[in-house]
């Protein structure tokens, strides 16, 4: 007999493990469907691809820039000199009225003291910030799916509890009706029982309406009908790897995606300071051109081949302190970003500690509620026996029914609260679903 009890206990344990594994697989599948089909994620990925082309545009500034040019200019009057010759009066023109020019010009930045490189590095840091933002969006969607998933399981179980209550009220209503026939009850008692039965049915309809809303939201996230995605035997079970708030907070400092996004933003702003401080640096460039034009002596109307080759050093002397002002703006933005990160860390620490406290309180309440369910069911059993034997009033049976319903709902709500708190701790700690 003892061996049989042990075998049953082992089977029950393996059954719970199997249900938990199936629950995790279902949740993982729903999360995968959401992340693969999310238009918001696809939009952010497309915007991230823009960063690659921004880098290509910036890098193009370090390559030779070649331009073709064709121009025509009409000048009136033009410079000329009169040369007196006996018997002949001649004029010497230094420039034609009609000036034509066509050339191919090239320019190349030889050295810019690191400004192009710094700009590319800033773009790379901004892209990293975008990547962290995409991961944060994925995490947000994943935990939305998880909350809907466990919300559906909770409502399914709540409906089952309420349907049991409907059956219970119906059974007791029949007992009261039988007592009315024997003259041991009043019409008032029967009417009250009928009202309780209708109210219990209304609560079932209300819960079913809430469940349908959850299905609608989940279907929108996963991109398909969610009604058949969650098994009927799914349980309110979720395991998270943290024993206390200290471990969760330590993990959050490293893996929390909001903090990682904030850190990436700080890096980009620090690079902005570097770029702004380089505003007064010189730039060394080379210029070259080749083409044909008129205007050369002695025949100023003839087209002639010409070339140009030079080196230019541009040194900013005074720009109205523009670089200094931009640098100060960048420093203020960085300081503000650091303060925001510090505030986020404080809020995350507080939220994690509150979630652990919620789990502690809900666990204690659950233990009390579990004993309360047993006592309420036992009290209802006694009340039904007393009612059947005619030594109890319908009010007593109604009170017992209410006690059983409240106890079962309390137990279910505490399980649900614990799950939501665990999900919140995992989200804040950066756990990927």
- 301 and 274 within one domain: no
How far is Cα 363 from Cα 359, in angstroms, rounded to an integer? 6
pLDDT of residue 176: 65
pLDDT, tens digit, for every residue of 11-23? 444 444 444 455 6
Query: Per the structure, how many domains does the chain have?
Result: 2
194 or 269, which is more confident?
269
pLDDT, tens digit, for every residue of 284-331? 999 999 999 998 888 888 999 999 999 999 988 888 888 899 999 999
- 424 and 327 within one domain: yes
Domain boundary (315, 333, 362) is at 315
Paired tokens of 85: 């010759």
pLDDT of residue 195: 75
- 261 and 250 within one domain: yes
Range of the domain at 302: 67-111+282-315
Paired tokens of 71: 């121009």
Cα 78 to its chain centre, rounded Å, is 70
pLDDT, tens digit, for every residue of 379-391? 878 877 776 676 6
First to last CA, the chain: 43
Report yes or no: 252 and 430 within 8 Å, Cβ to Cβ. yes
- 407 and 368 within one domain: yes
Mean pLDDT of 405-429: 91
- 262 and 206 within one domain: yes
Helix then strand then coil, % of the chain, to nearest 5 = 70, 15, 20
- 384 and 327 within one domain: yes
pLDDT of residue 194: 75
- 306 and 416 within one domain: no
- 231 and 90 within one domain: no
- CATH, residue 148: 1.20.1600.10
Is 92 among the domain residues?
yes
**What residues are paired with 312 via a beta bridge?**
285
pLDDT, tens digit, for every residue of 29-50? 999 999 999 999 999 999 998 8
SS3 of 96-153: the string is CCEEEEEEEEEEEEEECCCHHHHHHHHHHHHHHHHHHHHHHHHHHHHHHHHHHHHHHH
- 159 and 225 within one domain: yes
Q: How confident is the model at residue 173 (pLDDT cuts 50, 70, 90)?
A: confident
Cα 314 to its chain centre, rounded Å, is 46
pLDDT of residue 266: 95
266 or 388, which is more confident?
266
Mean pLDDT of 417-424: 94
Paired tokens of 112: 């810019």
How far is Cα 164 from Cα 195, in angstroms, rounded to an integer? 17
- CATH, residue 293: 2.20.200
- Using the predicted structure, report yes or no on whether residue 64 has a pLDDT greater than 70: yes
368 or 390, which is more confident?
368
> With a threshold of 0.85, does the pTM exceed it?
no
Q: What DSSP string describes 383-429?
A: HHHHHHTT-S-HHHHHHHHHHHHHHHHHHHHHHHHHHHHHHHHHHHH
- 277 and 257 within one domain: yes
């Amino acid at each position: 007999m003892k061996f049989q009890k042990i075998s049953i206990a082992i089977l029950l344990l393996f059954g719970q493990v199997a249900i938990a594994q199936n629950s995790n697989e279902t949740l993982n599948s729903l999360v995968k469907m959401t992340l693969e089909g999310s238009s918001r994620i696809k939009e952010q990925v497309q915007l991230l691809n823009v960063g690659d082309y921004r880098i290509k545009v910036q890098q193009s500034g370090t390559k030779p820039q070649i331009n073709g040019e064709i121009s025509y200019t009409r000048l009136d009057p033009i410079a000329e000199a009169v040369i007196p010759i006996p018997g002949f009066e001649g004029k010497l023109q230094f420039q034609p009225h009609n000036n034509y020019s066509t050339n191919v010009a090239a320019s190349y930045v030889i050295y810019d003291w690191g400004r192009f490189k710094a700009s590319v590095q800033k773009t790379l840091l901004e892209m990293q910030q975008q990547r962290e933002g995409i991961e944060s969006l994925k995490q947000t969607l994943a935990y939305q799916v998880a909350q809907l998933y466990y919300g559906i399981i909770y409502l399914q179980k709540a409906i089952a509890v309420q349907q049991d209550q409907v059956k219970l009220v119906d059974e007791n209503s029949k007992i009261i009706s039988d007592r009315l026939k024997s003259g041991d009850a009043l019409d008032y008692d029967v009417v009250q029982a009928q009202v309780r039965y209708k109210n219990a049915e209304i609560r079932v309809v209300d819960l079913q309406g809430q469940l349908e809303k959850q299905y609608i939201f989940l279907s929108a996230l996963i991109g398909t009908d969610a009604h058949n995605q969650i098994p009927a035997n799914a349980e309110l079970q979720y395991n998270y790897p943290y024993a206390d708030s200290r471990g969760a907070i330590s993990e959050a400092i490293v893996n929390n995606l909001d903090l990682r996004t904030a850190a990436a933003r700080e890096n980009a702003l620090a690079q902005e300071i570097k770029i702004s401080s380089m505003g007064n640096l010189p730039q060394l460039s080379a210029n070259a051109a080749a083409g044909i034009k008129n205007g050369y002596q002695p025949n100023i109307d003839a087209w002639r081949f010409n070339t140009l080759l030079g080196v230019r050093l541009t040194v900013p002397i005074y720009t109205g302190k523009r670089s200094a002002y931009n640098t100060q703006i960048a420093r203020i933005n960085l300081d503000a970003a650091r303060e925001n990160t510090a505030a986020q860390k404080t809020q995350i620490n507080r939220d994690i500690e509150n979630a652990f406290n919620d789990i502690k309180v809900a666990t204690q309440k659950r233990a009390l509620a579990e004993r309360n369910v047993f006592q309420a069911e036992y009290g209802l059993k006694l009340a039904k026996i007393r009612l059947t034997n005619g030594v109890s009033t319908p009010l007593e049976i109604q009170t017992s029914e209410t006690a059983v319903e409240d106890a079962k709902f309390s137990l279910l709500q505490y399980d649900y609260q614990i799950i939501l708190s665990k999900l919140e701790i995992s989200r804040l700690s950066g756990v990927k679903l």
